[in-house]
């Protein structure tokens, strides 16, 4: 280990509804800042948490919010043994220091069980535990459960179920007496009744009541003397005590198992929602879909009305409402207090509205969907019916974090794509300048030299020499003009600045007109045209399609030997007009076929004049045909050579009398 870089401290503050817990959170945050370490706030949810008062729930939410604002990672665990949960979490998460209140250190009575600090010391002896003085002894973290923490008065439904089960067991007891069964069988049936009561009712009340009632019913109806609470056998007193104790223990264990199963189901549901959210967000294609999926998952989890405001150009956009409950109980998110709370949350990057200290007249809770790089939106949750509990708050923050991270990743991917495209454009521009500057030097030098020769020696040159020099100047100038036309056409089409003049045109007339503009070098080759007998009428911009044909024929002239045959054929195929430009030259190698349509690719053909091609012709042809919703393909010509073929949509022939 490097002694100059000691391990980072990890501070843990335990959250509770105690009024003194706010001081513990503030102290832990200060310690984390002083040590330069990380800060985690842990809440251990027990089955009794559902029975907390509204004031305790609100205070717990305030403490969770306080820890969140202090930069803590909020974590929720589930279980009965709070010290064991804390110690195990500390071991797994690398906690080095735990901050507790003084009320968790002292026992209330000499018969009380071990305190939180004592149990933590036993289970995790390597932890540093800091005791913070609090104002008063509040409800502390106990390892045991409080039997009457929840409501004592059972519901009518639970009372009816309990009475029905006990009545059935008593009837069965009478039948067992008539059949001369041993009395311990009857006792076991009453134990079964207590177990069924604990399974089918909520809380401890009916289970404890059923345990006492079972002993009383057994004594009153099934022991001698009947219909009295006396018993002739002195041993029955011990039997009754053991029966009552066993029934209460059975009831307690069963209820605890039910509560554990409920918490396990909540944890499994939370895990499933988070997993589904992560899977769905990975498939989202834009920010609106990410926000909608996030809101849908929260609606599924919380079963509350929601509204989502996306960020648009640095301000809060129009909200989208997600309703789950009946219309009569919906919160009006369009009211002025609700909108003000949402805008305040967006501007300050803090939660606002109900259960917060900001915009308290709003009935919804508003939270920012944000990461360290900014705010991507605001989500509002209807709290008009009831506040969020710790479980809902924990999952809510997790899902909002997933949504914000998905939006940030989406923006980063788009930014990376734009940067890549910009780099490609810069590279393309550099290649263009480099290629033009290199390949234009020869024709420009030729033009300049020939022109200088004419100016200096015009009188001494014979007519044939002057004509040849002028022809060379004209050819070089024509090549430069064609190059500029190709470059301008490509940029105009790709930038969307060229308006196509689409109209029905006869393909054979377009081909013939294009051949009139072919370079004079075409006289060194044999050019043949072939047309089918039917009318070849296609929708096109004739000027641009002529440029396609000129480029294809010029390409065949450049890359084939003198005297080669170049065939231009046009025919109908299904709903398209097809034009083939074939030659009997050396052809194109298979490894180069995928590149011939790229700009600046000129191939390695020795026949071609390397100074007369920038590799723009085929790229321009494909761009023009794509604008016409057409295609350009390349295939081999037999026995040698190649065929460039393009298709255009056929135009309907209309005859007007």
CA dihedral (110, 111, 112, 115) in degrees, to 10, reads: 60
With 0.75 as the threshold, say if the pTM is over it: no
* CATH 3.30.450.40 domain locations along the chain: 284-414
Closest C-alpha to 582, from 512, 529, 507:
529
* CATH 3.40.50.620 domain locations along the chain: 10-132
Closest C-alpha to 95, from 34, 33, 25, 42:
42
Closest C-alpha to 145, from 255, 39, 232, 219:
255
pLDDT band at 274 (very low <50, low <70, confident <90, very high): confident
Q: List, for residues 239-257, the tens digit of each pLDDT value.
A: 667 766 776 777 777 777 7
Q: Are 193 and 254 in contact (CB under 8 A)?
A: no
pLDDT band at 147 (very low <50, low <70, confident <90, very high): very low
How far is it, in rounded angstroms, from Cα 477 to Cα 363? Answer: 77
For tokens 């479980």, name the residue. Answer: 391
How far is it, in rounded angstroms, from Cα 362 to Cα 340? Answer: 8
Report helix, strand or coil for 642. Answer: strand
pLDDT at residue 379 in the model: 92
* CATH 3.30.565.10 domain locations along the chain: 500-649
**Max intra-chain CA distance, the chain:** 155
Q: What angle do CA 630, 634, 640 make, to 5 degrees?
A: 150
**Non-local CB neighbours of 354 within 8 Å, separated by 6+ positions:** 360, 362, 363, 364, 365, 383, 384, 387
Report helix, strand or coil for 321. Answer: strand
Q: Judge if the upstream peptide bond of residue 639 is cis by omega within 30 degrees of 0.
A: yes
Element (H, E) at 442: helix 441-457
Whether residue 150 has pLDDT greater than 70: no
**Non-local CB neighbours of 651 within 8 Å, separated by 6+ positions:** 504, 505, 537, 538, 539
Q: Are 50 and 347 in contact (CB under 8 A)?
A: no
Q: Are 68 and 397 in contact (CB under 8 A)?
A: yes
159 C-beta neighbours (distance < 10 Å), count: 15
CATH topology of domain 500-649: Heat Shock Protein 90 (3.30.565)
Name the CATH architecture for the domain at 10-132. 3-Layer(aba) Sandwich (3.40)
Q: List, for residues 38-75, the tens digit of each pLDDT value.
A: 898 888 877 666 667 777 877 888 888 888 888 888 88
Q: Mean pLDDT lowest for which of 151-155, 317-321, 573-577, 619-623? A: 151-155
Q: Which residue has the higher pLDDT, 430 or 365?
A: 365
pLDDT at residue 567 in the model: 93
Q: Are 48 and 150 in contact (CB under 8 A)?
A: yes
Residue 372 DSSP symbol: T
DSSP codes of every residue in 379-400: EEEE-SS----HHHHHHHHHHH
Q: Which residue has the higher pLDDT, 444 or 81?
A: 444
Report helix, strand or coil for 323. Answer: coil
Give the CATH class of 284-414. Answer: alpha beta
How far is it, in rounded angstroms, from Cα 437 to Cα 432? Answer: 8
User: Which spans in 284-356 are helix H?
Assistant: 287-302, 336-348
Element (H, E) at 164: helix 156-178
pLDDT at residue 582 in the model: 92
Whether residue 21 has pLDDT greater than 60: yes
Q: Are 519 and 487 in contact (CB under 8 A)?
A: no
Strands, sheet with 642-649, edge to edge from the N-terminal-most edge strand: 526-531, 565-573, 576-583, 642-649, 631-636
For tokens 């003085």, name the residue. Answer: 133
652 C-beta neighbours (distance < 10 Å), count: 8
Q: Are 619 and 490 in contact (CB under 8 A)?
A: yes
Q: Mean pLDDT lowest for which of 184-188, 338-342, 482-486, 532-536? A: 482-486
How far is it, in rounded angstroms, from Cα 647 to Cα 631? Answer: 6
Whether residue 578 has pLDDT greater than 90: yes
Whether residue 3 has pLDDT greater than 50: no
Report helix, strand or coil for 125. Answer: coil
How far is it, in rounded angstroms, from Cα 15 to Cα 64? Answer: 7
pLDDT at residue 579 in the model: 93
Share of the chain above pLDDT 70, in %: 79
Closest C-alpha to 146, from 51, 60, 59:
51
How far is it, in rounded angstroms, from Cα 308 to Cα 401? Answer: 15
Q: Mean pLDDT lowest for which of 358-372, 422-436, 575-589? A: 422-436
**Non-local CB neighbours of 466 within 8 Å, separated by 6+ positions:** 454, 458
Q: Are 263 and 256 in contact (CB under 8 A)?
A: no
How far is it, in rounded angstroms, from Cα 521 to Cα 507? Answer: 24
Taking each helix axis as running N to C, give the angle between helix 205-222 and helix 156-178, from 0 to 180 degrees, rounded to the nearest 10: 30
How far is it, in rounded angstroms, from Cα 258 to Cα 291? Answer: 37
**Non-local CB neighbours of 271 within 8 Å, separated by 6+ positions:** none
Residues 368-380, mean pLDDT to the nearest whole number: 87
Whether residue 617 has pLDDT greater than 50: yes
User: Which spans in 351-440 are helix H?
Assistant: 390-439
Residue 570 in tokens: 């046009």
CA 189, chain centre distance (Å):
55
Q: Are strands 374-382 and 364-371 parallel, antiparallel or unpaired?
A: antiparallel
Whether residue 175 has pLDDT greater than 80: yes
Q: Are 325 and 299 in contact (CB under 8 A)?
A: no
């Amino acid at each position: 280990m490097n002694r100059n870089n000691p391990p980072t401290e990890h501070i843990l503050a335990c959250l509770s509804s105690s009024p003194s817990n706010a001081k513990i959170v503030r102290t832990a945050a200060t310690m984390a800042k002083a040590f330069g370490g990380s800060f985690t706030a842990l809440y251990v949810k027990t089955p009794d948490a559902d029975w907390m008062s509204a004031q305790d729930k609100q205070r717990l939410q305030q403490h969770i919010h306080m820890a969140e604002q202090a930069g803590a990672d909020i974590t929720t665990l589930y279980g009965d043994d709070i010290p064991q949960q804390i110690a195990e979490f500390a071991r797994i998460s690398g906690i080095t220091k735990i901050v507790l209140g003084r009320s968790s250190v002292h026992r209330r009575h000499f018969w009380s069980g071990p305190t939180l600090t004592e149990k933590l010391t036993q289970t995790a002896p390597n932890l540093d535990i800091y005791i913070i003085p609090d104002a008063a002894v509040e409800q502390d973290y106990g390892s045991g459960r409080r039997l009457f923490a929840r409501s004592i008065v059972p519901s009518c439904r639970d009372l009816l179920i309990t009475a029905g089960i006990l009545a059935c067991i008593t009837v069965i007891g009478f039948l067992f007496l008539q059949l001369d069964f041993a009395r311990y069988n009857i006792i076991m049936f009453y134990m079964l009744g207590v177990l069924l009561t604990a399974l089918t009712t909520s809380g401890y009340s009916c289970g404890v009541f059923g345990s006492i009632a079972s002993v009383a019913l057994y004594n009153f109806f099934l022991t001698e003397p009947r219909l009295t609470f006396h018993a002739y056998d002195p041993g029955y007193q011990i039997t009754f005590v053991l029966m009552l104790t066993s029934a209460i223990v059975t009831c307690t264990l069963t209820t605890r198992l039910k509560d554990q199963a409920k918490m396990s189901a909540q944890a499994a549901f939370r895990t499933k929602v988070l997993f589904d959210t992560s899977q769905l967000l990975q498939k989202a294609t834009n920010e609106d879909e990410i926000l909608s999926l996030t809101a849908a998952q929260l609606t599924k989890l919380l079963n509350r009305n929601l509204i989502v405001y996306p960020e648009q150009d640095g301000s809060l956009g129009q909200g989208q409402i997600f309703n789950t409950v009946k219309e009569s109980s919906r919160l009006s998110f369009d009211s002025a207090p609700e909108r003000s709370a949402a805008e305040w949350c967006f501007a300050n990057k803090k939660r606002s509205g109900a259960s917060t200290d900001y915009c308290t007249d709003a009935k919804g809770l508003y939270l920012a969907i944000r990461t360290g790089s900014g705010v991507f939106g605001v989500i509002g949750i209807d709290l008009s019916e009831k506040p969020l509990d710790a479980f809902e708050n924990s999952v809510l923050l997790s899902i909002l974090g997933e949504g914000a991270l998905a939006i940030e990743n989406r923006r980063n991917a788009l930014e990376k794509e734009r940067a890549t495209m910009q780099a490609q454009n810069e590279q393309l521009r550099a290649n263009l300048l480099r290629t033009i500057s290199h390949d234009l030097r020869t024709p420009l030098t030729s033009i300049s030299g020939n022109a200088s020769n004419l100016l200096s020696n015009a009188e001494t040159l014979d007519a044939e020499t002057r004509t040849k020099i002028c022809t060379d100047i004209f050819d070089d100038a024509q090549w430069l003009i064609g190059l500029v036309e190709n470059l301008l056409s490509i940029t105009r089409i790709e930038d969307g600045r060229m308006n196509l003049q689409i109209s029905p045109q006869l393909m054979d007339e377009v081909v013939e007109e294009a051949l009139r503009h072919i370079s004079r070098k075409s006289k060194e080759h044999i050019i043949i045209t072939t047309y089918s007998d039917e009318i070849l009428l296609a929708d096109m911009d004739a000027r641009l399609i002529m440029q396609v044909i000129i480029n294809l024929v010029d390409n065949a002239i450049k890359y084939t030997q003198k005297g080669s045959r170049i065939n231009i054929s046009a025919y109908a195929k299904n709903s398209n007009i097809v034009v083939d430009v074939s030659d009997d030259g050396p052809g194109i190698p298979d490894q180069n076929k995928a590149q011939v349509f790229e700009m600046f690719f000129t191939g390695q053909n020795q026949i071609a004049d390397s100074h007369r091609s920038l590799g723009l012709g085929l790229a321009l042809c494909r761009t023009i045909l794509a604008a016409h919703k057409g295609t350009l393909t390349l295939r081999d010509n037999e026995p040698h050579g190649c065929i460039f073929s393009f298709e255009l949509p056929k135009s309907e022939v209309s005859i007007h009398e």
